[in-house]
Amino acid sequence: MLARARALERSGRDVVHLEIGQPDFPTPRHIRDAAIDALNAGHTGYSPTPGIPELREAIAEHASGLRGIAVGPERIIVTPGAKPLLFYAVNALAGAGDEVIYPDPGFPMYRSLIEHAGARPVPIRLREENAFRFDIDEFRRLVSDRTRLVILNSPENPTGGVLSRSDLEAVAAEARSRGFYVLSDEVYLHFAYDEPFTSVASLPGMLDRTIIVDGFSKTWAMTGWRLGWGVVPPELFATFELYNVNIVSCACTFGQHGAIAAIRGPWEPVEEMIAEFRRRRDFLVDALNALPGVSCVRPRGAFYAFPNITGTGLAADELSRRLLDEAGVATLPGTAFGPAGAGYLRLSYASAFERLEAAVERMGRFLASSS
């Protein structure tokens, strides 16, 4: 969609980009300065495979405080973005004969990785009427003796759904009794607007059964730096380290020095960015709900709105394509995130407030003329 939008722009059209999943803010100044200083100080060689010790210490402290867990640096591995950790976890744990439960609609990488590992993907459907949370009865029916891993993503891409503490408790109870692992993708944890974030790893008995995936991309607007981290149970750590050393050696060394500054703060730039995302969310959801044929549940987290567009009479793929071609608004069809995304669009509000206003106005004009 981005490539198509860029092609339109090259032909002189103005396009509002609501298809992109990265903050539209620059990386805060003190973080950039720390990386530049590290470069100039000669930190240009390899770092230890799991990350530079000071960063692992800082992450352990930060990750523990936020989640109410107690982990030391020996559990922390630093990777080039959060994505490698998803790959490592699925490949370390799942293979032929195993089942992996993952959210649908969900981040497309999950299903792709499960299939690649030769395991059976078992989607759990996230429904609008349930605020895009798990239906726990359905979850219990999907769990089997072959379940090896359950992937959670809360706050979720693309729906903005947030799992409640009782959802997490139900997942944890099954994990303890059946003995499966949980991969908890928490890259949007700071973007939980309406409730304090809960990590499944903080529930009794779950720390050694949970791989926490987090990173710098979203929270500090650092997508291009490629820096993420995992909190990994001791019994899996050597495997994650083996993947890291053989695939990437280490994450970018001077970038890791910037990452230390990110965690140490100041945190004001992050807080300001999140306040702005909340303001955009509230505007966008209200504006979408005023459009003909569109209804939108207020997302509780991340930076995506996931409006139901069935009332427009157009399928998501067609509506997304026509909004780009005829109205200059780039979105993603919900089906890009799994079959359960049919009937929805994903709109990223990582775009300036005025651009969101322009997008909704253009969508309104398009929908009025096409009905």
Beta-carbon contacts of 140 under 8 Å, excluding residues fewer than 6 positions away, are 170, 174
Residue with tokens 């981040």: 107
Under rule CB under 6 A, residue 21 binds ligand PLP: yes
Residue 299 within binding range of ligand PLP, rule CB under 6 A: no
Question: By CB under 6 A, is residue 187 in contact with ligand PLP?
Answer: yes
Rounded CA-CA distance 27/217 in Å is 9
- Return the number of the residue (107 or 243) whose C-beta is nearest ligand PLP: 107
Among 228, 233, 307, 328, binds ligand PLP (CB under 6 A): 228
For 353, list phi and psi in degrees, rounded to 5: -50, -45
Nearer to ligand PLP, 47 or 159 (CB): 159
* By the rule CB under 6 A, 217 interacts with ligand PLP: yes
Q: Which stretch binds ligand PLP (CB under 6 A): 76-84, 142-150, 247-255, 318-326?
A: 76-84
Q: Given the complex with ligand PLP, which of 21 and 293 has the nearer CB atom?
A: 21
Tell me: does residue 107 bind ligand PLP (CB under 6 A). Answer: yes
Cα 161 from Cα 167, distance rounded (Å): 12
Pairing of strands 332-333, 345-348: antiparallel
Count of residues that bind ligand PLP according to CB under 6 A: 13
Say how many CA atoms lie within 13 Å of 266 toward its Cβ.
7
Choice from 49, 157, 159, 219 touching ligand PLP (CB under 6 A): 157
With binding defined as CB under 6 A, does residue 81 bind ligand PLP?
A: yes
Binding flag, residue 153, ligand PLP (CB under 6 A):
yes
Closer to ligand PLP by CB, 106 or 269: give it: 106
The pair phi, psi for residue 301, each rounded to 5°, is -160, -175
How is residue 307 written in tokens? Answer: 């409006």
Neighbouring CB atoms inside 10 A of 325's CB total 13
Strand 329-330 versus strand 16-17 pairing type: parallel
Which positions touch ligand PLP (CB under 6 A)? 21, 81-83, 107, 153, 157, 185, 187, 215, 217, 223, 228
